[in-house]
Amino acid sequence: MKPGGGGKETPKTLEKPSTVYTVQCGECFKWRLIPTKEEFEDIRSKFIEDPWVCDNKYGVSCEDPEDIEYDSSKIWAIDKPNIPKTPVGFERILVLRKDFSKFDAYYITSTGKRLRAITEIAKFLEANPEYSGVSVSDFSFTVPKVVENTIPRIVDGKNGASRGKKKKKSMIKDDDNDDGELVD
Ligand SMILES: [Zn+2]
């Protein structure tokens, strides 16, 4: 079964200090900004069983104008739904390769160690019994897919501006410009 076949979809990701997280309402299909990575990860972790709607955002309803438009002014990446919420004591980092081809995911521990594979996670958990409540299944190296027609180089070559063909995907946007700021 394809997640979000009915229009309620997966969150999206691209990470940089300028990253913007956005999710699509399952009812009106408008894009809403999600203010923090933590909140986004929370929404993403239960996206299938608990689809997101505008009412979940404080003071917002489906009547309100869209927070952000899905277009090629920024790079968009589509995240997978139901990625486990990052366990306390870890941070999940996504890095976009310089050629925009794909993301790499890793976790940083509270001591600053980088873990880049499930095997490294398993080793770390074994060596650190204080994380006994955490299991390898709480980690995921599934990375979001970069939306090709929002990659800048393609826009240069092919005039791919303003094509919102994947309107129904929930996403996180990478925001290199100053528009599309996070909302308070
Ligand atoms: Zn809505």
**What is the reported pLDDT for 171?**
63
In a domain, 180, yes or no: no
Give the chain's count of helices (H) and strands (E): 3, 8
**What pLDDT sits at residue 156?**
43
CATH code at position 90: 3.30.890.10
Does residue 81 sit within a domain? yes
Rounded Cα–Cα distance for residues 170 and 167 (Å) = 8
Instruction: Please indicate, yes or no, if residue 155 is contained in any of the structural domains.
Output: yes
Give me ligand 1 centre to Cα 167, in Å.
14
**Does residue 182 sit within a domain?**
no
Sequence-distant contacts of 90-98: CB under 8 A, at least 24 apart: 90/139, 92/41, 92/139, 93/15, 94/13, 94/14, 94/15, 94/143, 94/144, 95/15, 96/14, 96/15, 96/16, 96/146, 96/174
| CA of residue 80 to ligand 1 center, whole Å | 20
- Residue 55 C-alpha to ligand 1 middle, in angstroms? 7
Q: Classify residue 80: in a domain, yes or no.
A: yes
The CA 113 to ligand 1 mean position distance, Å, reads 40
pLDDT tens for each residue of 153-181: 544 444 444 444 333 445 655 444 433 33
pLDDT at 173: 53
Whether 61 maps to a domain, the answer reads yes
Domain count, the chain: 1
- What residues flank ion ligand 1 with Cβ within 5 A? 25, 27-28, 54, 62
Question: So what's the pLDDT on residue 149?
Answer: 87
Burial class from Cβ neighbours inside 10 Å (0-12, 13-18, 19+) for residue 175 reads: buried
Mean pLDDT, 10 residues at a time, the chain of 184 residues: 41 64 95 94 94 95 94 90 94 92 95 96 96 95 92 52 43 47 36
Q: For residue 39, give its domain range.
A: 19-174
Is residue 141 in a domain? yes
Query: Has residue 4 been placed in a domain?
Result: no
